[in-house]
């Protein structure tokens, strides 16, 4: 079960009740489902249980719980590395989505952290692919959220990733500056490098080679979908375990994607302190 929220906007012809608004806002959810959630106390407004006749009042936030029947348990467990009044830093395992999607509801990082901390306002400030492990920063206070979002928008936060690839194509080059344009590929869930102004920038550095495996340090300057996976493949070193852009498309591997969000470093806009966090996880290759 995951706690979600919906804002009640100001409209010219408001519905009589919040229940009526919810059935209009989510037409794919039967009204009987909303009535069942309300009866079980799974819908709240102003920290009070919603009633079927609760009047519609714009400006309020409604929190509700939704369920995915028979959802399997998560394969790995997250860790909380840091928490204060404004932010929380989590260390995510491979195979866990950051936010609820599809059948990943109770297994999502956001839901699990909300359950652990009882903080309903916990919201991720950025995203990691389900297959990528490592650090995710969450906002706690809605009032300060914009200031932390701005860190990412202005590239004022240093993000460091580690990635592993096969080393059989290594030459003398040890550093790459990749700057190109990424757009939607085919099928729809793939991305590809296309012509046009650059919208994706990554600095890549080879840091070690061991047992035919090369480990790279990546510093993305932008955050396009699948950016690091595409950029590693574009220089001839697809990430181990990458079933979308790597050699394992032809030879599927049981190894999870060897991409780790290893480090976050920034000046905290609330405390003005320099903050640095490092994942406790390691690459498995």
What's the pLDDT at 69?
A: 58
Q: Token digits for 84?
A: 């204060």
Q: Identify the DSSP state of 111.
A: H
In this prediction, residue 235 carries a pLDDT of 96
Q: What would the two tokens of residue 68 be?
A: 């995915």
Residue 3 and residue 116 in contact, taking contact as beta carbons nearer than 8 Å: no
Burial class (CB in 10 A: 0-12, 13-18, 19+), 121: middle
* Fold topology of 2-66: 3.10.290
pTM value? 0.75
**Diameter over CA atoms, the chain:** 71
Count CA atoms within 13 Å of residue 136 on its CB side: 29
- CATH topology of 2-66 equal to that of 79-155? no
Separation between Cα atoms, residue 62 and residue 3, nearest integer Å: 10
Tell me the CATH number for domain 79-155.
3.30.2350.10
Question: Are 117 and 128 spatial neighbours (Cβ–Cβ below 8 Å)?
Answer: no
Tokens 């050699």 correspond to: 247
User: 201 — phi, psi (to 5°)?
Assistant: -135, 130
Cis peptide before 235 (omega within 30 of 0): no
Assigned CATH for 158-261: 3.30.2350.10
Q: What is residue 11's predicted lDDT score, i.e. its pLDDT?
A: 84
User: Domain ranges in the chain?
Assistant: 2-66, 79-155, 158-261
Going residue by residue through the chain (285 aa), what tens digit of pLDDT does each one get? Answer: 556 788 898 888 899 999 999 998 888 788 888 998 898 888 999 888 999 999 999 999 998 876 665 566 666 899 999 999 999 999 999 999 998 876 667 789 998 999 899 998 999 999 899 999 999 999 999 999 999 999 999 999 999 999 999 998 888 999 999 999 999 998 888 999 999 999 999 999 999 999 899 999 999 999 999 999 999 999 999 999 998 998 654 445 578 999 999 999 999 999 999 999 999 999 986
CB 105 within 8 A of CB 71: yes
Structure tokens at 200: 């994706």
pLDDT in the model for residue 250: 47
Burial of 2 (0-12, 13-18, 19+ CB in 10 A): buried
CB 128 within 8 A of CB 145: no
* Pairwise CA distance, residues 18 & 14, whole Å: 9
């Amino acid at each position: 079960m995951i706690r979600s929220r919906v804002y009640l906007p100001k409209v010219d012809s408001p519905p009589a009740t919040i229940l009526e608004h919810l059935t209009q806002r989510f037409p794919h959810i039967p009204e009987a489902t909303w009535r069942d959630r309300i009866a079980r106390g799974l819908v709240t407004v102003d920290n009070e249980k919603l009633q079927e006749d609760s009047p519609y009042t714009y400006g309020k936030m409604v929190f509700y719980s939704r369920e995915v029947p028979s959802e399997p348990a998560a394969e790995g467990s997250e860790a909380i590395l840091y928490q204060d009044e404004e932010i929380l830093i989590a260390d995510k395992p491979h195979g866990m989505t950051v936010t609820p999607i599809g059948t990943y509801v109770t297994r999502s990082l956001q839901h699990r952290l909300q359950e652990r901390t009882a903080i309903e306002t916990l919201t991720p400030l950025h995203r990691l692919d389900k297959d990528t492990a490592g650090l995710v920063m969450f906002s706690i206070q809605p009032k300060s959220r914009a200031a932390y979002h701005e860190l990412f928008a202005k590239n004022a936060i240093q993000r460091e990733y580690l990635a592993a690839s096969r080393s059989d194509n290594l030459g003398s080059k040890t550093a790459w500056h990749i700057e190109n344009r990424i757009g939607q590929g085919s099928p729809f869930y793939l991305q590809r490098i296309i012509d046009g102004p650059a919208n994706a920038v990554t600095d890549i550095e080879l840091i070690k080679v061991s047992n035919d495996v090369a480990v790279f340090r990546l510093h993305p300057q932008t955050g396009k979908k699948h950016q690091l996976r595409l950029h590693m493949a574009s220089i001839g070193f697809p990430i181990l375990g990458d079933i979308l852009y790597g050699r394992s498309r032809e030879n599927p591997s049981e190894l999870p994607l060897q991409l780790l969000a290893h480090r976050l470093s920034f000046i905290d806009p609330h405390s003005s302190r320099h903050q640095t966090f490092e994942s406790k996880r390691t690459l498995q290759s």
